[in-house]
Amino acid sequence: MMMVGCVNAFFVLVALLLAYVVHNHPSVREYWQLDNRPPVAVNCSFMQLHRNVTLPTLPDDLEALPWRCGLQEVTTTTTTTTTTTESSPNRLRVFVFTQPDGTWCWSNAGVIVYDDEILHIVDTLTDEHLTNHFIEAIQKQIVVVSTKKKRRMTPQWIFLTHGDIDHVYGLAAMRRSFVGFRGILAHQSTLDTMAKNPPPKKLAQSVMRARLVWSFFSDKNDSMSLHPWIKRLLSYGTPHVLQGYAVRFLGNLRAMQFFSPFDFDNTADVPTKDVIAFDERERHVSLSGGGGGGGNDAIMKIVHVSGTHSYGDVFLHLPSANLVFAGDLLFIGVSPIMWTGPARKFKAALHMLLATNATTFVPGHGPVCGRRGVELSLAYWDFVEAGVRQCVADGVSESRACASRLFDRLPSPWNAWLGAERVFINVDVEMNGPVVDVARKFALIGAQGEHGLLDT
Ligand SMILES: [Zn+2]
């Protein structure tokens, strides 16, 4: 008997020791997300070639959730912006799948869970490899939790914030995994954009060809930089016109490297025939699965804003959660980008985000933020709009010259954010109008890749 008592006491002591370690060891604290400080470097194991990334330091008052790889619950980690109401605890839960560092195609997606039973998806990521990890995370972290009610979780809607490839290429994988979906809901302009997107396998071939050619010119120690002899060749003695063509050609090749970490080859065509398109400016959707019932806590407002990042942009407002899925109206930690514009309309859309009185915003790229994140974005577009106006007043009418001027004067925090050179695209759209075809889009991505080609 005495022996049994000693063994029990031993196990109690071991358990107490383990509990102490779990609550106090720094690495364990971070693993269990007890420490909310934004990390400076992350290792995203599911992101293949993009595993180790270094993140920019974000302003202290950004109220961002930790910028981690994978699925996090927004509603329990931000206690000041909890979605629950006293009368209906836990009816609405929101999860966000984030992919640092948020640069080209490293986009966010989301999950809305109503009453632990009904599930909705917001956006579908860039390739099926990533989407499958998103689906796996949903099944591990959400579906398991929901079984406490012993009811089957019913998938309902896939909502699309806009039609760019990094938000829609995962649709076929979603469709396959969640059989019985009610539908894919998107604005008509999003559907139009999706129809113009290249099929994933065609994009895979272009990226492969560009990688092959680029490998002849790139520095082996830094795959995004040119060999020193190419730089010298282009910098000295080369006729200006020839230099321009060469830099543009190399810039396009370099830009295609941004897409090389993705598995477009194993990504199926997007099922556009399944998309239910709407044309009105604002649509309300019942999250409870019924025909509009479930009270205010089950309503989502989808608001279309044109003339911004793209023609199809909508934001998804969950009033009872004080939360907005902003899509690519918001980039945090990485430079915003405008394909449609102008900045005046972009700013009007951001004012609409603030007018919702929401306190939590999920950007299309970057960490979840508070209202400060939207205000910062407004200030960025103020800078672009005023800068272009000044260029015109000073007779600087060529967009590259104007963008170069703005790039050199880019203030904090955007000068430290990733992809700061996107100001070349933003200025071009502000001066020359919207990008309406894919060819110009890739040319502009190439042009911004071209900046600094000779001095990297
Ligand atoms: Zn995006």
- Condensed to tens digits (0 to 9), the pLDDT of residues 65-78 reads 888 889 999 975 33
Q: Per the domain annotation, does 335 fall within a domain?
A: yes
Q: Per the domain annotation, does 428 fall within a domain?
A: no
Do 154 and 100 share a structural domain? yes
DSSP 438: H
The per-residue pLDDT of the chain, averaged, comes to: 81
Q: What's the CA-to-centroid distance between 315 and ligand 1, angstroms?
A: 13
Q: How many angstroms separate the CA atoms of 178 and 351, rounded?
A: 35
Q: How many angstroms separate the CA atoms of 360 and 322, rounded?
A: 6
Q: Per the domain annotation, does 151 fall within a domain?
A: yes
How wide is the angle at C-alpha 96 spanned by C-alphas 89 and 202, nearest 5°? 145
Q: Where are the alpha helices (DSSP H) in 228-339?
A: 228-235, 240-256
Query: Given 370, 392, 415, which residue is the final one in a domain?
Result: 370
Do 27 and 111 share a structural domain? no
Q: What's the CA-to-centroid distance between 366 and ligand 1, angstroms?
A: 10
Do 20 and 101 share a structural domain? no
Q: What's the CA-to-centroid distance between 161 and ligand 1, angstroms?
A: 9
Q: What's the CA-to-centroid distance between 326 and ligand 1, angstroms?
A: 11
Q: How many angstroms separate the CA atoms of 357 and 216, rounded?
A: 53
Q: What's the CA-to-centroid distance between 164 and ligand 1, angstroms?
A: 6
pLDDT along the chain (456 residues), means of 10: 52 46 36 34 61 76 82 64 43 91 93 88 95 90 64 81 96 88 92 92 92 83 77 75 77 82 92 90 87 64 91 94 96 94 96 97 96 96 97 93 93 90 93 82 70 59
Q: How many angstroms separate the CA atoms of 355 and 6, rounded?
A: 65
CA distances from 19 to 9, 25, 28, 371 (A): 15, 10, 11, 37
CATH number for 327: 3.60.15.10
Do 139 and 22 share a structural domain? no
For 75-107, how does the pLDDT look when each residue is reduced to its tens digit (9 = 90+)? Answer: 753 333 344 444 444 578 999 999 988 988 999
Sign of CA dihedral 319, 323, 325, 326: positive
Q: Per the domain annotation, does 1 fall within a domain?
A: no
Q: What's the CA-to-centroid distance between 167 and ligand 1, angstroms?
A: 6
Do 84 and 33 share a structural domain? no
Q: Per the domain annotation, does 327 fall within a domain?
A: yes
Do 111 and 163 share a structural domain? yes
Q: Per the domain annotation, does 437 fall within a domain?
A: no
Q: What's the CA-to-centroid distance between 308 and ligand 1, angstroms?
A: 13
In this structure, what token pair is assigned to residue 392?
């015109």
Do 60 and 14 share a structural domain? no
Q: What's the CA-to-centroid distance between 363 and ligand 1, angstroms?
A: 9
Q: What is the pLDDT of residue 86?
A: 42
Q: Per the domain annotation, does 156 fall within a domain?
A: yes
Q: What's the CA-to-centroid distance between 47 and ligand 1, angstroms?
A: 16
Do 174 and 83 share a structural domain? yes
Q: What is the pLDDT of residue 395?
A: 96
Do 180 and 59 share a structural domain? yes
Domain that holds residue 23: 8-37
Number of domains, the chain: 2
Q: How many angstroms separate the CA atoms of 139 and 144, rounded?
A: 7
Q: What's the CA-to-centroid distance between 429 and ligand 1, angstroms?
A: 17
Do 176 and 76 share a structural domain? yes
Q: Which helix (H) or strand (E) holds 427?
A: helix 423-432
Q: What is the pLDDT of residue 164?
A: 94
Q: What is the pLDDT of residue 239?
A: 78
Q: What's the CA-to-centroid distance between 101 and ligand 1, angstroms?
A: 12
Query: Given 370, 394, 420, which residue is the final one in a domain?
Result: 370
At residue 337, φ and ψ (nearest 5 deg) are -140, 140
Q: What's the CA-to-centroid distance between 165 and ligand 1, angstroms?
A: 8
In 183-247 the beta strands, taken as DSSP E runs, fall at 183-187, 218-219, 222-226
Do 156 and 22 share a structural domain? no
Which residues, at least 6 apart from 217, have a Cβ–Cβ distance to it below 8 Å?
A: 226, 227, 230, 250, 253
Q: What's the CA-to-centroid distance between 353 and ligand 1, angstroms?
A: 18
* Of 302, 249, 310, residue with least CA distance to 277: 302
Q: How many angstroms separate the CA atoms of 240 and 296, rounded?
A: 63
* Of 303, 306, 323, 300, residue with least CA distance to 315: 303
Displacement of CA 437 from its chain's centroid (Å): 22
Query: Given 352, 370, 388, which residue is the final one in a domain?
Result: 370
Do 343 and 362 share a structural domain? yes
Q: Per the domain annotation, does 54 fall within a domain?
A: yes
* Of 364, 307, 338, residue with least CA distance to 444: 338
